[in-house]
Amino acid sequence: MRYLTFALTKGRLASKTLDLLGKIGITCEEMQDKNTRRLIFVNEELKLRFFLAKGPDVPTYVEYGAADIGVVGKDTLLEEGRKLYEVLDLGFGACRMCVCGPESARELLNTNQLLRVATKYPNIAREYFFNQRHQTVELIKLNGSIELAPIVGLSEVIVDIVETGSTLKENGLMVLEEVCPLSARMVVNQVSMKMEDERIRELIRKLRASL
């Protein structure tokens, strides 16, 4: 039997994924050790391998078949636009992609004035404004603390993930429009899905039943 390789998104998503896998009897003891410096973890019995990667890298590993299966947020999938099979909505990590800004920006959103949009997700923002709203905007790519942009006048609005909305509220911002709902997804490499059909289908079936 060949190894099936999982690419998990570092952080909360990974621990939730491991909890879920634990429920269907898939465990990886090597991963429990928090101080380890190893990059790849093996379950010899089930012939499974696991590794952790940064979110945006997970679809890349899976697209090229370096990992057979990945668990990653829908936001990353939309942003990266890779060729993958998206086989399961795992439900956890639920949040929304939203256009946010101060109340005063609401009006601006519906005029044809110059609108600057700061975001970590330029592809999602482009798709939303250009192809759904048919509106021309200036996109500004940022790498973190996106909420800062409208406060200091770098942009009028932002496109970002909203979970509870408390960060927004504390900074005098609000959700102006919802772009799409998000949650963690299980993705599979196109070739692996065919070549390891039985094992992967069984895995999907069990996970679906436990959700």
Partner 1 sequence: MQRIFHTPEGVRDIIGEECAQKQLLQEKLRDVFRRYGCHEIETPTFEFFEVFGNEVGTIPSRELYKFFDREGNTLVLRPDFTPSVSRACASYFDPAGSPVSLFYTGKTFINHSSLRGQLKETTQIGVERFGDASADADAELLAMTVECLLASGLTEFQVSVGEVNYFKSLVAEAGLDEETVQELRELISQKNEFGVETLMREKKLPIHQTDAFTALPTLYGGRDVLDKARSITENEVALKAVERLQQIYDILSLYGYEKYISFDFGMLSKYRYYTGIIFHAYTYQTGEPLIKGGRYDQLLRHFGTPAPSVGFGIVIETLLLALSRQKLLQPLKDETEEILYAPGERAEAIRKAMELRSAGKPVRLTLKKEGPAR
Work out the burial of residue 95: count CB atoms within 10 Å of its CB; fewer than 13 is exposed, 13-18 middle, 19 or more buried.
middle
- Choose, by CB under 8 A, the member of 30, 86, 127, 177 that binds partner 1: 86
Note the helical H segments in 117-189. Answer: 122-126, 148-152, 166-170
Question: Does 87 help bind partner 1 (rule: CB under 8 A)?
Answer: yes
Shorter beta-carbon distance to partner 1: residue 84 or 124:
84
Taking alpha carbons only, the member of 184, 210, 196, 195 closest to residue 87 is 184
Residue range at the interface with partner 1 (CB under 8 A); choices 27-35, 45-53, 104-112, 191-199 = 191-199
Give the count of residues interacting with partner 1 (CB under 8 A). 22
Question: Does 124 help bind partner 1 (rule: CB under 8 A)?
Answer: no
Residue range at the interface with partner 1 (CB under 8 A); choices 48-56, 81-89, 99-107, 134-142 = 81-89
Shorter beta-carbon distance to partner 1: residue 152 or 209:
209
Q: What are the C-alpha distances in Å from 177 to residues 143, 156, 195, 196? A: 22, 14, 42, 41
CB of 134 to partner 1, least distance (A): 14
Are 43 and 26 contacting, i.e. CB atoms less than 8 angstroms apart? yes
105 Cβ contact partners less than 8 Å away, ≥ 6 residues apart = 150, 156, 157, 176
* Distance between start and end Cα atoms, the chain: 27
Residue range at the interface with partner 1 (CB under 8 A); choices 10-18, 87-95, 110-118, 149-157 = 87-95
Distance CA 211, CA 209 (A): 6
* 3-state secondary structure at position 58: helix
- Choose, by CB under 8 A, the member of 65, 138, 145, 172 that binds partner 1: 65
Across the strands, what pairs with 116? 138
- Choose, by CB under 8 A, the member of 189, 199, 203, 207 that binds partner 1: 189
Residue range at the interface with partner 1 (CB under 8 A); choices 35-43, 103-111, 116-124, 192-200 = 192-200
Shorter beta-carbon distance to partner 1: residue 114 or 191:
191
Contacting partner 1 within 137-176 (CB under 8 A): none
What residue ranges bind partner 1 (CB under 8 A)? 2, 60, 63-66, 83-89, 188-191, 193-195, 197, 201
